[in-house]
Amino acid sequence: MRGANILNINGNNFDSTTTPLLFSANNETALITNNMGLDNIAPTQASAASVALPVTAKVIITGTTTISTLVGTWSNRQVTILPTGALPFTTGGNICNALTAAADVPVHALWDAGRNCWHLK
C-alpha cells in the first residue's frame, strides 16, 4: 500500500522491549500486521539488582544475582518468571515478599499498584 500519511508496522518481535509501539495518530492510516504475539514470546534477561521486564507475559531470567526491583509495571500486571537457576528475590526495592525460586520452577509475579510492589509466589 503506497501513498501519503500511511504508517505500516509489520513483522515485529517484541521480545526485549519495555515500551511496545508508540504512535500518535494524525490523520494517518495505520497498518499493523504480522507481528509476533506477546503471549508466544519468553525473552531472556540476566539477573541483577534491578531487572527491566519486557512487555511479555513470560520472561526467562538467567543467573543467581539477588533481585530487589522489577521495572515495567502497570495496575494488576502479571508476569511468569522462569528462572534458569536458584534465583533470590528480596524486599527493599519494589518486591513485597522475599522468595528464593528454584531452577525451572515458574514464579508468578503480580504488581500491586496500591502498595507499589510485586507479590511473588
- Model confidence pLDDT, tens digit, residues 23-73: 566 666 666 666 666 666 788 999 999 999 988 889 999 999 999 999 999
Q: Is 57 left (phi over 0), alpha (psi -120 to 50) or beta?
A: alpha
Is residue 113, in this structure, part of any structural domain at all? Answer: yes
Is residue 18, in this structure, part of any structural domain at all? Answer: no
Whether the predicted pLDDT of 102 surpasses 90? yes
Is residue 44, in this structure, part of any structural domain at all? Answer: yes
Q: What is the pLDDT confidence band of residue 6, given thresholds at 50, 70 and 90?
A: low
Count: domains in the chain: 1
Q: What are phi and psi of 39, to 5 degrees?
A: -75, -10
What is the grid cell recorded at 84? 534458569
DSSP for 21-68, written as a single string: -----SS-EEEEESPPPGGG---EEE--SEEE--SSSEEEEES-PPB-
Contact residues for 110 (Cβ-Cβ < 8 A; gap 6+)? 76, 77, 78, 118, 119
Domain encompassing residue 80: 38-120
Is residue 85, in this structure, part of any structural domain at all? Answer: yes
Q: How far apart are CA 98 and CA 83, in angstroms?
A: 15
